[in-house]
Amino acid sequence: MSISTSSRVPALRNIATRLRIESVLATTESASGHPSTCCSAADIVAALFFAEMRFDPKNPQLATADRFVLSKGHAAPLLYAAWAEAGFVARRDLLNLRKIDSDLEGHPTPRLPFVDVATGSLGQGLCAGIGIALNARRIGADYRTYVLMGDGESAEGSVWEAASVAAYEKLDSLCAIVDVNALGQSGPTQLEHDMEAHRVRWDAFGWNALVIDGHDMPAILAALDTARATKGRPTALLARTLKGKGISFVEGKNGWHGKALKKGEECDKAIAELTAQFINDAEDVPVPSLPEAPKVPAVPGLVAAPAYALGELIATREAYGDAIAKLGAQDARIVALDADVKNSTFSDKFEQRADKTRFYQNFIAEQVMVGAAMGLASRGAIPFPSTFAAFLTRAYDFIRMAAISNLNIKMAGSHAGVSIGEDGPSQMALEDLAMMRAQPNIAVLYPCDAVSTDRLVAAMAATPGPAYMRTSRPKTPVIYGPDEQFPIGGLKVLRSSEADVATVIGAGITVFEALKAYDQLKAEGLPIRVVDLYSVQPVDAAALVACAKASGGRLITVEDHYAAGGIGDAVASAVASAGFTVTRLAVREIPRSGTPEELVDRYGISARHIVAAVRAGK
């Protein structure tokens, strides 16, 4: 059912007016928020939700429904008002905006079922939109993805990373809408209302760029029709708007960003002006059409055990590639994303052995790689984005937002630590464990051999929520049998006796330095306990405390990482309440180029230094 053409535009204009009123009332009640930016985009949102998008107001997560990403997340009251207009949110609840017991937060998060990814850190929505659109391609759905952005956030480089990748992927189901209201937080935006300059930029990136009046409802509807009909490339609707549209003393004026209208005369005047804009006798817009429910594929069973021989030399980064390829061949939800280092991270094994349509090349654009992974995860895929661990620092804001969203994204960082060798410090991730551990819900895993890598990749895929695996460049011997299990949150005690004088805790390549130290110290009559802390977060605190008690209270950590935030801090935090302290061997200065063996020794994390630390305590 649809309303007649003659009454469609008046009805949508009335909806836009209601969205403005609800946004003003909610932010005024909260005494905080961004009503002016809600007002500039209200016509666009009214057209999208009530004339263009196909979705089920009672089931926001329907797999075939069109998707909407509010990249300019500070316009959250507008989004909440739209879902109230659709009937999913009670209008009275809009007045609970930003309250501690309300999910209608200052910026949207997936605590709300109609929010796919958390937004508010600007420049991320289009990256996520790419992943959401790629997921439609993955499952063979015809849903469309709409991303509402601000012109201010278009200064973010990640927007243009995304623009480039979307054009490369020919994502014609993706439509970006830029609310060009010409005003940022502290003053005018870079291009202000130079709409031709906006158009030229998007056109240069290969998009179908359309300039429209963002308050002209027929023009908005016509542009959305054009976007839907465009094939072979994404569309950008560049909507010229006025911040604070509809409120005379706010409209187009600087200084109103993030400023709620005051209760009383100020708010009352705004509501009176907006109310006067209603069109009488406009027909109601019917609820959106309901897409057909999709078929849900069966989830595969257990993954086969790894086929590595004891003593075989293989780098954990290569075992990672084998593991995701094996998973991908079995489970269509598994996808892999690369940033032009697939032959170093070995994610190219997924591309070669699994379904190539589920391997996404983002080139040297780590922000869009992680952002697209977020979008894919939000729609049911299990994405494995991988690059050098050092380069994930460039995408850390996206990682932070993935954690806030609690998305099922499985990151991998290779070439970690001084053990990578001659490439030098710019390539040596020595802070990645710290930055991942800083997010309380990211599982942080650091396998030492091929078997533990294989099992932990499977565990990552099977465990909901974000996870990070640190892989190493050097080849290491296989020390675990194929039936060994590696639950997330566990550890392995590799050597122990009743006479242990200390427990040495390593992960990755330092496990093998600890084993070398064990052999030397045993010959001296100084037995030590050796622990492989393959799960750095969550960490097995009870087992670590037990190890401390069994080895005279002495704990020594050794890590190919800076001293702050890594294994030493993880262990110290776990055992502090039991009264134990930790001696920490870590990289404590900016390293330089050299062979792996030279660097591991020079920076204090080789077997020689472990032996010295154990002896020093006797």
Q: Whose CA is closest to 370, among 358, 380, 360? A: 360
How many angstroms separate the Cα of 43 from the Cα of each of 11, 51, 231, 258? 11, 11, 25, 20
> Of all helices (H) and strands (E), which one includes residue 605?
none
CB of 185 closer than 8 Å to CB of 257? yes
Query: Quick one: tokens of 604?
Result: 């204090």
Query: Quick one: tokens of 432?
Result: 């990645």
* Catalytic one of 366, 431, 513, 559: 366
Counts of helices then strands in the chain (DSSP H, E): 20, 19
Q: How far apart are CA 609 and CA 587, in angstroms?
A: 12
Which residues are 150's β-sheet partners?
Answer: 179
Alpha helices in 258-383 (DSSP H): 265-275, 316-330, 342-345, 348-353, 366-378
**In Å, how far from its chain's centre is CA 222?**
34
Q: Whose CA is closest to 477, among 523, 511, 505, 519? A: 511
CB of 381 closer than 8 Å to CB of 407? no
Whether 192 sits among the annotated catalytic residues: the reply is: no
Q: How far apart are CA 542 and CA 600, in angstroms?
A: 30
Query: Quick one: tokens of 89?
Result: 């949110």
Torsion of CA 548, 549, 552, 553, to 10 degrees: 50
Q: Which DSSP letter does residue 354 get? A: S
Q: How far apart are CA 10 and CA 584, in angstroms?
A: 69
Q: What are phi and psi of 344, to 5 degrees?
A: -105, -35
3-state helix, strand and coil shares in percent for the chain, rounded to the nearest 5: 45, 15, 40
**3-class secondary-structure state, position 545:** helix
Which residues have a catalytic role annotated? Answer: 366
